[in-house]
Every structure is written in C-alpha cells, then in structure tokens.
C-alpha cells in the first residue's frame, strides 16, 4: 500500500511539469521494463525508498475560465478528502492571486500535511519575491523550478518524512477482488448480478454508488472480498460527479486489491481512462482480468470477438497475457466465468515455483539462446530463483547483470509465462550479480 499525494493549484502553475518530473525519476529506473509512458495524470513515485502514488489534478479540468474556479474548489475538496498529503503549487511569476487565496482558505482547515510549493524560482530575485506567499497563511514554503528540478529534493525529503506509515499488503486474510472501471460501465450491476440482491442502487447517472462495500463472497469453494470502487459516501459538498473523483477511488481500490476486474463498456471500447486504470494496476503489480460488458449491445458476426480482443491486446503491449472475458451483466452472461477467471489469476499471482524446477526448465533454454554479447562481453546466467514477494518476481544470477538488455528480459519473462502460467499477472525479472 502506498500513500496518495495530490498536486493541486490553479491552471498554468506547472503542476504537470512537476508531476512528470517526479514520476519519470522513478519510471526511468523501475519501469524501464515495459517502457510505457501514456498520457497519465497519476503514477508511482518514490524517494529514499518510500513509495507513493502521485495524482496531478490539473489534467481533470475541462472548460472555460469561469468554470475553473468552481472546479478547482471541488478538486481541492476531493484531494483533501482522499489524499494523504497535498502539494499546493503557486507561481512566483504571477504572485498571489485570488484563486490561490481561495485554495489556501480550504487548505488551512486541513489536518493532513500540506506543502506550499512556489514554482518558477530560478534566480535570486525570484527567491526574494517568493516571500509574499507567507500571506497565504500556510507557513513555510518550498521554492522549486519544476522545469529543471531545482529544489525538488528538499521538497521530497520533507514530503516522505510527513507521510503516514503504510500498511503492508499482506495483512488482510481474504483475497480482495476490486471491481474498477469508468463510471457507467456497469460495475455495480455486475456485483448485484453476482450477489443476487439489490444492495446497490443502480441507476443510469454516472457515479450514483455512494457506499463502497466489501462483500464477502464464496464461489467455486473459494472465499474472497469483492470490493466495489464506485465510491464511499462522499461529502455533501462534492455533488457533481467528476472523472477525477472516480479516478481517486479507483486508485485507492487498486492499491488495496489482489486482483482488479476492469469493467469496460463494449460500446466505448478500451479508451483512455480504462487504459489508465489498466496501467495503474499493472504498475502496482496486481492481477488483472478485463471484463467487456454490454456485449449484448454490439452488432456481431463471427469475427467480432476476435477483432475486439486483438484491438485491446494491441493497446496493452507488451503486457498482453491478460484474460479478456466478454460479459453481459443484463443477461447474466458469463458473469460467473468472470469470477472463475479472477480466482485463477489470484492463484497465478500467489504461485510459488520450486528453485530446482525453475533451473531444470529454464537453464537449458537459456543455454540454447543466451543473452546477446554486449561490448564483446558474454553474459552467463548461472542460477534462478523466485523472490519471496506477494507477486511473482524472479532473480536471474549472472556474471554481468548490467549487460542484459530489456528485450532479453522480456524473452525470459515470456519463457516463465510459457512454462508456469502467469496469465493475468505482471511478472518482474531482475538480473543479480552472482
């Protein structure tokens, strides 16, 4: 479980630049594996070994300037409610604006850690000018230039110190299956259909689910918690549904889950928001099952399913080993198949493979297809073991780990998948010095 940190502030103060800088720093190291950068407004970051999920609220405001003020207030309220810490960004070039004062007014009442971040401070004169931000009543501030990263180190030091201690994910006894997806894809109806009672009110207005309920569920002799993410009761103030709100909810649910059932609406396809949710689950190393709902509404011929599936897999590359189940909640079509698949994925995620078996199967394959020589150096892989982590991670011990490139790591991952069935589960491959 990692903490959630939200970046708030009015438009054009540099929120996205800071966001990109903070997640890139980590992605350069950790996510080099798949090299996926998408248009995302949330991602993982870490500093001094402490990991957190970062949310850039800026990406969720659409509309004209007069809409902005109301929208920003709503966003700040949601961030206050949902995040563990808040970075409030202002801009030294324009100085304190009325909108900044509005945001500060909301943030002064908060008991969570709030960091006032003055951006675009790239010379001595601007350092002096930053003093006026004391007037916001939020105490000390941090001066940074998000464009070149100066000052971000001090900010991150203070931030990770202030984050609450997180609970390690192995503490819950029952596996948790989170049902996630964009509003109106049919998440609640799916859970209703499974439970067979209307404990959720299902209407066609996006975001009507008020209470996130964990439902204990037993099927195929397997007990688990079903988590509906559409939203714990929200504060009266946040009336209008925001895409941002459902995203915050999904982020939390994904972090807490073992397997994510990503529900998408067949009439809309695997669109940007669904992809965001998919990549977040993948980055968090969760089990994943894609459920294509409302399949009854799609005009079909013999090739439709295949083509639809191929299109989704294309968007997921390189992590394509994910089950896709076509369902219709309305007609109760294949909804139990969906759960059965989730149970299989959970078992794959918790699978432990004996070291002797790994070496017996993979070493001969590696011998036939060794890592390509790099700068005239030959890499010899001597030994393989699975690491004792909640999800599948493997260490390959060799003489020159730094010379093994990504394509070869993908080859190893594919061989692991081929021989041991990790369908629906991200697999991590690490090269270690023997």
187 and 231 in a common domain = yes
Q: Is 32 annotated as a binding residue?
A: no
328 and 198 in a common domain = yes
Quickly state the pLDDT bin for 134 (edges 50, 70, 90).
very high
| Nearest residue to 115 via CA among 136, 145, 97 | 136
Which of 72-81, 192-201, 273-282 is predicted least confidently? 192-201
Q: Is 183 annotated as a binding residue?
A: yes
Which pLDDT score is estimated for 349? 94
| pLDDT above 80 (res 213) | no
Distance in angstroms (rounded) separating the CA atoms of residues 106 and 103: 5
Q: Which of 98-102, 146-150, 242-246 has the highest mean pLDDT?
A: 98-102
Q: Is 186 annotated as a binding residue?
A: yes
Angular region, 267: left φ>0, alpha ψ -120 to 50, beta rest: alpha
Q: Is 122 annotated as a binding residue?
A: yes
Quickly state the pLDDT bin for 17 (edges 50, 70, 90).
confident
Distance in angstroms (rounded) separating the CA atoms of residues 338 and 400: 43
**What is the rounded (10 degree) CA torsion for 317, 322, 328, 332?**
-170
Name the more confident of 400 and 77.
Answer: 400
The end-to-end CA distance of the chain, in Å, is 31
Residues 6+ apart with CB under 8 A from 413: 427, 429
Which pLDDT score is estimated for 377? 87
- How large is the average pLDDT for residues 222-226? 79
Which pLDDT score is estimated for 214? 64
- Do the Cβ atoms of 74 and 242 come closer than 8 Å? yes
Q: pLDDT tens across 93-120, in order?
A: 999 998 899 889 989 988 899 999 999 9
Q: Is 187 annotated as a binding residue?
A: yes
| pLDDT above 70 (res 162) | yes
Angle between helices 152-162 and 15-30 (to 10 degrees): 80
Q: Is 377 annotated as a binding residue?
A: no
Q: Is 182 annotated as a binding residue?
A: yes
Q: Is 406 annotated as a binding residue?
A: no
Residue 58 domain boundaries = 3-162
418 and 328 in a common domain = no
341 and 361 in a common domain = no
Q: Is 60 annotated as a binding residue?
A: yes
Mean pLDDT, the chain, rounded, equals 81
Structural domain ending residue among the three candidates 288, 318, 350 = 350
Q: Is 229 annotated as a binding residue?
A: yes
217 and 142 in a common domain = no
Q: Is 246 annotated as a binding residue?
A: no
Q: Is 276 annotated as a binding residue?
A: no
Q: Is 395 annotated as a binding residue?
A: no
pTM of the model: 0.66
102 and 20 in a common domain = yes
Q: Is 295 annotated as a binding residue?
A: yes
Burial of 29 (0-12, 13-18, 19+ CB in 10 A): exposed
Number of domains in the chain: 3
Q: Is residue 168 situated within a structural domain?
A: no
Q: Is 150 annotated as a binding residue?
A: no
Q: Is 119 annotated as a binding residue?
A: yes
Q: Is 15 annotated as a binding residue?
A: yes
Q: Is 269 annotated as a binding residue?
A: no
Sheet containing 114-119: order of strands: 42-47, 50-56, 3-8, 85-91, 114-119, 141-143
Which uninterrupted H or E stretch holds 319?
none
Q: Is 272 annotated as a binding residue?
A: no
Pairing of the two strands 85-91 and 3-8: parallel
Q: Is 184 annotated as a binding residue?
A: yes
Structural domain ending residue among the three candidates 334, 350, 366 = 350
| pLDDT above 80 (res 61) | no
Which pLDDT score is estimated for 4? 85
- Do the Cβ atoms of 5 and 55 come closer than 8 Å? yes
359 and 345 in a common domain = no
The CATH number that applies at residue 153 is 3.40.50.300
135 and 183 in a common domain = no
- Do the Cβ atoms of 262 and 289 come closer than 8 Å? yes
Q: Is 188 annotated as a binding residue?
A: yes
Distance in angstroms (rounded) separating the CA atoms of residues 1 and 178: 14
Which pLDDT score is estimated for 41? 66
| pLDDT above 90 (res 136) | yes
Q: pLDDT tens across 343-392, in order?
A: 999 999 999 999 999 999 999 999 999 999 888 889 999 999 999 988 89
- Give the E-state strand segments of 92-163 in sequence order: 114-119, 141-143
Which pLDDT score is estimated for 256? 77
- How large is the average pLDDT for residues 304-333? 91
Q: pLDDT tens across 169-183, in order?
A: 444 567 888 888 877
Q: Is 31 annotated as a binding residue?
A: no
């Amino acid at each position: 479980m990692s903490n959630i940190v939200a970046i708030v502030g009015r438009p054009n103060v540099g929120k996205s630049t800071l966001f990109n800088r903070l997640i890139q720093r980590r992605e350069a190291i950790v996510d080099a594996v798949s090299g996926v950068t998408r248009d995302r407004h949330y991602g993982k970051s870490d500093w001094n070994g402490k990991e957190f999920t970062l949310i850039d609220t800026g990406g969720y405001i659409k509309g004209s300037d007069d809409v902005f003020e109301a929208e920003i207030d709503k966003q700040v309220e949601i961030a206050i409610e949902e995040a563990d810490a808040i970075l409030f960004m202002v801009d030294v070039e324009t100085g304190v604006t009325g909108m900044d004062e509005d945001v500060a007014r909301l943030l002064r009442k908060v008991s969570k850690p709030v960091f006032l971040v003055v951006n675009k401070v790239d010379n001595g004169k601007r350092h002096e000018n930053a003093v006026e931000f004391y007037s916001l009543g939020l105490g000390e501030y941090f001066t940074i230039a998000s464009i070149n990263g100066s000052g971000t180190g001090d900010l991150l030091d203070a931030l990770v110190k202030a984050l609450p201690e997180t609970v390690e994910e192995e503490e819950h006894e029952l596996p948790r299956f989170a049902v996630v997806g964009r509003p109106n894809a049919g998440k609640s109806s799916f859970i209703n259909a499974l439970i067979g009672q209307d404990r959720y009110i299902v209407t066609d207005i996006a975001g009507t689910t008020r209470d996130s309920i964990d439902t204990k569920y037993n099927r195929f002799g397997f007990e688990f918690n079903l988590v509906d993410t559409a939203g714990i009761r929200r504060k009266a103030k946040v009336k209008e549904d925001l895409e941002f709100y459902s995203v915050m909810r999904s982020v939390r649910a994904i972090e807490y889950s073992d397997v994510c059932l990503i529900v998408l609406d067949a009439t809309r396809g695997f669109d940007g928001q669904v992809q965001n949710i998919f990549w977040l689950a993948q980055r968090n190393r969760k089990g994943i099952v894609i459920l294509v709902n409302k399949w009854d509404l799609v005009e079909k011929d013999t090739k439709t399913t295949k083509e639809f599936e191929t299109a989704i897999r294309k968007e997921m590359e390189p992590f394509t080993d994910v089950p896709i189940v076509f369902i219709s909640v309305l007609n109760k079509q294949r909804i139990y198949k969906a759960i059965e698949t989730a149970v299989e994925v959970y078992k794959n995620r918790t699978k432990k493979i004996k070291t002797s078996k790994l070496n017996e199967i993979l070493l001969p394959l590696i011998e036939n297809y060794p890592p390509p020589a790099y700068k005239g150096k030959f890499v010899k892989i001597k030994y393989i073991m699975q690491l004792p982590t909640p999800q599948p991670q493997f260490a390959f011990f060799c003489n020159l780990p730094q010379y093994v490139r990504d394509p070869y790591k993908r080859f190893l991952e594919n061989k692991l998948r081929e021989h041991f069935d990790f369908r629906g589960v991200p697999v991590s491959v690490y090269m270690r010095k023997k």
